[in-house]
């Protein structure tokens, strides 16, 4: 009950909507009927609780102010609700504080020209990296010098059986390897990444082996790959390892172009399909981004790897296990402002 001016009377009622059935009130009280009445509500009560675990519960709040009745419906979180915990949360990384109040549990920033570490936070912990995996997928494809004009076909083998995600690429669609690489890097297309791995000499197993071999060659000792898309939470790496990958990937012009293209139209079996970049910062005039890749699965949280020019200095940024849809790009903005404050522009 809230106290209102002018003696207004306010009625506050919270009513949780039932999941089923009519009331037994007003029914005859005969003995034979009583037994049925005792049993039926018990059954219905069990049914109601079962439904309540599947459907969102709604609270109804009724307020009367100066004779005017207002009704507000709000969802009520179930007592059985369990928030999604990332691998970083399980490791306690979300408890680490930093001077920038980053939303990411892991961060690593490197000066690309001299390898000076400018910022680090839990940078040596190996975590799921989601679609950041596709950066290594692209590197293996490009350095294998596979024909980018070869037509490849999406098959049932490319359908996601791990997370059961959807795709705009239909089974049977045909597309050049170059276009598949383009939308895998730019729009994080999972079936495209799967098809790239499957069409490597020796198939997907040979491709994953090549990914892991490349990681070892680059000194990425905390990194392991099991697929070419990043849908598996067993694809892991540390932020420090991913910075090494970004430095090498940035040397490939095709990876730079495809990963930073804001939009593209690609041909899939004669059907023109429009794709956009998963990182809106590439279209921002405030940023000069040379390479980037985003990633997300529940176990990994929001992830971002990016090469950017900040006041004439080339830097590699890595953010892992960020909470909130725009949190990883917001962290990139915080980091840029912090770097700009450290290194004011030259005068004169």
* Per-residue tens of pLDDT for the chain, all 348 residues: 333 333 333 333 333 333 333 333 333 333 333 344 444 444 444 343 333 334 455 665 666 666 666 666 666 555 554 567 999 999 999 999 999 999 999 999 999 999 999 999 999 999 999 999 999 999 999 999 999 999 999 999 999 998 999 999 999 999 999 999 999 999 999 999 999 999 999 999 999 999 999 999 999 999 999 999 999 999 999 999 999 999 999 999 999 999 999 999 999 999 999 999 999 999 999 999 999 999 999 999 999 999 999 999 999 999 999 998 899 999 999 999 999 998 766 555
The gap between the terminal CA atoms of the chain, to the nearest Å, is 66
What is the distance between the alpha carbons of residues 313 and 110, in angstroms, rounded to a whole number?
10
Contact 124, 91 (CB under 8 A): no
Confidence at residue 19, expressed as pLDDT on a 0 to 100 scale: 35
What is the distance between the alpha carbons of residues 321 and 105, in angstroms, rounded to a whole number?
5
Confidence at residue 96, expressed as pLDDT on a 0 to 100 scale: 96
> Looking at 104, 105, 131, 228, which residue is catalytic?
131
Written as one string, the DSSP assignment of 269-329 is TTEEEEEE-S-GGGG-TT--EEEEEEEEETTTEEEEEEEEEETTEEEEEEEEEE-STTHHH
- Record the tokens describing residue 316, joined without a space: 């590699």
Confidence at residue 109, expressed as pLDDT on a 0 to 100 scale: 98
Confidence at residue 208, expressed as pLDDT on a 0 to 100 scale: 98
What is the distance between the alpha carbons of residues 333 and 280, in angstroms, rounded to a whole number?
12
Contact 152, 175 (CB under 8 A): yes
Confidence at residue 192, expressed as pLDDT on a 0 to 100 scale: 98
> Looking at 134, 214, 244, 293, which residue is catalytic?
134
> Looking at 104, 187, 188, 229, which residue is catalytic?
188
| Cβ-Cβ contacts under 8 Å for 23 (sequence gap 6 or more) | none
Confidence at residue 72, expressed as pLDDT on a 0 to 100 scale: 65
What is the distance between the alpha carbons of residues 223 and 335, in angstroms, rounded to a whole number?
25
Q: Is 134 a residue of the active site?
A: yes
Contact 20, 51 (CB under 8 A): yes
Express each pLDDT in 93-125 by its tens digit.
Answer: 999 999 999 999 999 999 999 999 999 999 999
**Crossing angle of helices 177-186 and 253-260, rounded to 10°:** 60
Confidence at residue 343, expressed as pLDDT on a 0 to 100 scale: 74
Confidence at residue 15, expressed as pLDDT on a 0 to 100 scale: 32
Express each pLDDT in 48-62 by its tens digit.
Answer: 333 333 445 566 566
Confidence at residue 325, expressed as pLDDT on a 0 to 100 scale: 85
Q: Could you tell me which of 258, 273, 300 has the C-alpha nearest to residue 127?
A: 300
Confidence at residue 62, expressed as pLDDT on a 0 to 100 scale: 63
Confidence at residue 345, expressed as pLDDT on a 0 to 100 scale: 63
Q: Is 131 a residue of the active site?
A: yes
Written as one string, the DSSP assignment of 180-195 is HHHHHHHS--HHHHHH
Strand partners, 302: 296, 322
Q: Is 238 a residue of the active site?
A: no
What is the distance between the alpha carbons of residues 204 and 238, in angstroms, rounded to a whole number?
24
């Amino acid at each position: 009950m809230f106290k209102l001016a002018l003696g207004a009377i306010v009625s506050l009622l919270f009513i949780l909507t039932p999941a089923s059935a009519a009331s037994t009130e007003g029914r005859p009280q005969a003995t034979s009927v009583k037994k049925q009445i005792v049993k039926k509500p018990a059954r219905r009560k069990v049914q109601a609780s079962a439904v309540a675990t599947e459907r969102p519960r709604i609270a109804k709040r009724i307020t009367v102010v100066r004779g005017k009745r207002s009704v507000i419906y709000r969802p009520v979180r179930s007592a059985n609700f369990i928030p999604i915990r990332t691998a970083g949360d399980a490791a306690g990384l979300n408890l680490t504080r930093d001077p920038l109040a980053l939303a990411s549990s892991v961060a690593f920033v490197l000066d690309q020209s001299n390898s000076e570490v400018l910022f680090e936070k839990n940078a040596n912990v190996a975590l799921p990296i989601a679609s950041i995996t596709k950066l290594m997928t692209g590197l293996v494809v490009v350095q294998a010098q596979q024909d980018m004009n070869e037509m490849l076909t999406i098959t049932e083998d490319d359908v996601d059986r791990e997370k059961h995600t959807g795709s705009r690429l239909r089974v049977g669609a045909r597309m050049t390897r170059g276009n598949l690489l383009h939308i895998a890097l730019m729009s994080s297309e999972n079936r495209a990444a799967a098809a790239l791995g499957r069409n490597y000499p020796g198939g997907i197993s040979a491709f994953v082996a090549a990914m892991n071999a490349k990681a070892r060659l680059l000194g990425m000792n905390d990194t392991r790959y099991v697929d070419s898309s990043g849908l598996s939470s067993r694809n892991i790496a540390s932020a420090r390892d991913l910075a090494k990958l970004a430095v090498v990937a940035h040397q490939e012009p095709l990876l730079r172009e495809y990963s930073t293209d804001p939009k593209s139209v690609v041909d899939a079996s004669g059907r023109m399909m429009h794709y956009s970049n998963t990182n809106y910062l590439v279209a921002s005039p405030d940023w000069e981004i040379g390479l980037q890749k985003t990633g997300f699965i529940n176990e990994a949280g929001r992830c971002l790897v990016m090469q950017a020019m900040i006041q004439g200095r080339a830097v590699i940024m890595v953010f892992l296990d960020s909470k909130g849809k725009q949190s990883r790009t917001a962290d990139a903005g915080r980091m840029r402002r912090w770097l700009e404050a450290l290194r004011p522009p030259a005068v004169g």
